[in-house]
Amino acid sequence: MTSLAGPGEDGERRNVSDGAGVVVLGACATWALITATVQEGRPEGVLLAVLAVAAGYAAGRICGALLPVAAPCAGALAGLGLAVAVPHLAPGPQAVAPLGHAGATAALLTLCAGAACCAAWATEAPALRLALGALAAGITVTAAVLGSTSGFVTCTAVLLCSLAAGRMQRRGLGIAGLALAATLATGLTWAVAANALPDGLTASLEGQFTEHRIQLWQDALHLAHHNAALGVGPERFGELSTTATRTLLSDGKPHSALLQQAAEQGVVGVVLLAASFGWMLYALWRSTRPTPVVLTAGAALTALAAIAAVGNALSFTAVSVGAGLLAGLATARPLVDESPQPEMGARSRDRLTP
């Protein structure tokens, strides 16, 4: 792809987004260590998640530069194989009752669909683009076959967003829309936990989320209100939540990344979680890749944020690695220039300078 910005501008743009990523991920790891030290928590899970995202992002940048079409395609196939072969995404005994791990499967399949669509937009060969589009559709059907209703919905949303991305003239507008969608999803979770919605809507959502999940959210919000500064410490929610302690085979999670951060790492933890997502969107906005690739990856990551807001998807290393990998693939600079299709032309070279 030929950027409207010069080589110097391009390098500066990449340095800023890369530097922001280092700062944000480093702050996440540091704050987890601080809260764990003060509150006698266990930071290993958070540190592993940060490492997984960083490793996935680095791998995506390298593979995306060398193989801009083959790398996302291979990632989509690998993720699909993992979701089918290892439904729980983790070896050993599984604490499946009463919430299960459907959110993790949905998240992984959503990232796979996004990767397949990114590969489709990155190629110029019509036949290959059609085949990769069929792969994305196949992943969506697989979600339905595996019984992941949320995965089917989010994969379908990613496919539709990817099609719409091909007609977007300004990526900034699309990125802003994705940020708004993620904000609404997380805000809804917080509102349900705080019982701040009308009774009719609350009852409807309780039927979708289950009463047990909402009770976990309420416990997390209660802990967050009483430990706003530092939280109760990483991995301590399961010990202090009355709902979790009376649940057989509980996984010790509130099944909401937002509320888990609030309960275990306080206000700063929530800010850092939001900053991590914001950094990914910022890196995509500044990317030199074609706009359809950027917005498709952004749509998949936003869908992941929505799933993580109501589930424990980010507790699985495969999901964290996949998120970092997709972001890295969509922000890599291929060694060979990408030439957008004529219909994308100047629109896809899109105002890369904000």
- 232 neighbors 264 (Cβ within 8 angstroms): yes
pLDDT tens across 253-285, in order? 999 999 999 999 999 999 999 999 999 999 999
Closest CA to 49 of 286, 273, 348, 246: 273
The answer to whether the pTM exceeds 0.85 is yes
The residue ranges of DSSP E strands in 59-125, in sequence order, are none
Confidence of residue 49 (pLDDT cuts 50, 70, 90): very high
Segments making up each domain of the chain, as ranges = 7-87+99-334
* Whole-number pLDDT of residue 10: 60
* Whole-number pLDDT of residue 337: 64
Select the more confidently predicted residue: 201 or 66: 66
The residue ranges of DSSP E strands in the chain, in sequence order, are none
Distance separating alpha carbons of residues 289 and 333, to the nearest angstrom:
7
* Whole-number pLDDT of residue 91: 47
pLDDT tens across 132-166, in order? 999 999 999 999 999 889 999 999 999 999 999 99
- State yes or no: cis peptide before 43, omega within 30 of 0: no
pLDDT tens across 10-32, in order? 656 667 889 999 999 999 999 99
* Whole-number pLDDT of residue 72: 97
pLDDT tens across 197-232, in order? 888 888 888 888 888 899 999 999 999 999 999 999
